[in-house]
Amino acid sequence: MKHLSTDEIKILLQFFPQGVVAFDLETTGLSPLVDKIIEISAVKVTKDGVETFDQLVNPEIKIPQFTIDIHHITDDMVKDSPKVAEVLPDFVKFIDNYPLIAHNAKFDVGFIIYDVLQNKLALQEAKVYCSCAISRRVFTDFPNHKLGTLVEKLEIPLENHHRALDDARACLQVFAKALISYYKKRNNTKILKDAFLFKTNSYGENQELNIPKHLKKLEVLVPAQEVFDIKYNGGSMKGKFRPVKPISLLPMPEGMILYAHCLTSDLYKSFAVKKISDFRELSDEEKEYRLESLNLLNN
């Protein structure tokens, strides 16, 4: 495949002798409970060569302008494309039981798992790895580990950032270059443990995908990414309200999570939805005060 070097393919097959698949999605937003997939792409590397999967998807909803501004996929571009229920069986067949790699893999896998379970399909057991996680472990001097930064630092050509096939290929190259850098210094394969997230079969067929009734409003608040308070039955603030800036609602093997920026600790955290006992919306003044407090803490 264009840009994927012989050395990169060689190191990938050294760490994944059976082969490996890197994939990426473009979506209408960040939460699979309320947002939809609009593009699925993947790059498979095996001893027999390199194959690709690339498909636009009709999300059956209007694509928000703020996401069009990112990936440049419009309603007209997907109106005649197959729906996700038609695309997923082919994608599931393509990835088979190969190890999977994605950048910030929790998000991409969350969307796939949600739609796979909704459409009563089955994924074969596959290990999931994150190229962002391996980058944090290997390239410790980089300012951040966003895909755009990594391709610049590692001199990886990326012609169409935020289009799924190009990003899947770039993600695979980031992973390969991290393996090469790590292996040259240590001559072992332990780095895979740091990049590993979970297995696809960690999700149960009967996994709860719905938000509890008393938290239903989160399905509206989270996509808006407005600050609100949650009362969480865990951590150092157990049973107390804490302000969070939500990012996504995601299905994980341990159950649904709210991934959010905790404004109290200034950390990005995964909150188990089943442990959120209550939430409260905030006035504009309260939101501004909490954000200003965080800014003062960081200055």
Quote the tokens at residue 272: 């188990």
126 and 43: one domain?
yes
Task: Tell me the range of 88-97, 114-123, 230-239 where mean pLDDT is highest.
Answer: 88-97
Question: Do residues 172 and 4 touch, judged by C-beta distance below 8 A?
Answer: yes
Quote the tokens at residue 227: 């600050």
Residue 3 reports pLDDT greater than 90: no
Mean pLDDT of 285-290: 87
138 and 89: one domain?
yes
> What does the pLDDT read at residue 289?
86
46 and 157: one domain?
yes
The residues, ordered by sequence, that sit 6+ positions from 287 with a Cβ below 8 Å of its Cβ are 226, 227
Model pLDDT for residues 87-118, shown as the tens digit of each residue: 999 999 999 999 999 999 999 999 999 999 88
Question: Do residues 233 and 275 touch, judged by C-beta distance below 8 A?
Answer: yes
288 and 162: one domain?
no
Domain of 246: which CATH number? 2.30.30
B/e letters for 126-146, b = 16+ CB within 10 Å, e = fewer, are bbbbbbbbbbbebbeeeeebe
Domain of 48: which CATH number? 3.30.420.10
Mean pLDDT of 254-266: 90
- Is the residue at 280 inside a domain? yes
Share of the chain above pLDDT 90, in %: 74
- What is the rounded CA–CA span in Å between residue 21 and residue 33? 25
173 and 271: one domain?
no
> How many domains in the chain?
2
- Kindly indicate the confidence band of residue 152, based on its pLDDT and cuts at 50, 70 and 90: very high
Q: Which of 71, 72, 162, 261 is catalytic?
A: 162
- Kindly indicate the confidence band of residue 189, based on its pLDDT and cuts at 50, 70 and 90: confident
Q: Is 162 a catalytic residue?
A: yes
Residue 297 reports pLDDT greater than 90: no
> What does the pLDDT read at residue 205?
61
Domain span at 257 = 213-298
- Is the residue at 157 inside a domain? yes
- Kindly indicate the confidence band of residue 201, based on its pLDDT and cuts at 50, 70 and 90: confident
Which helix (H) or strand (E) element contains residue 219?
helix 218-224
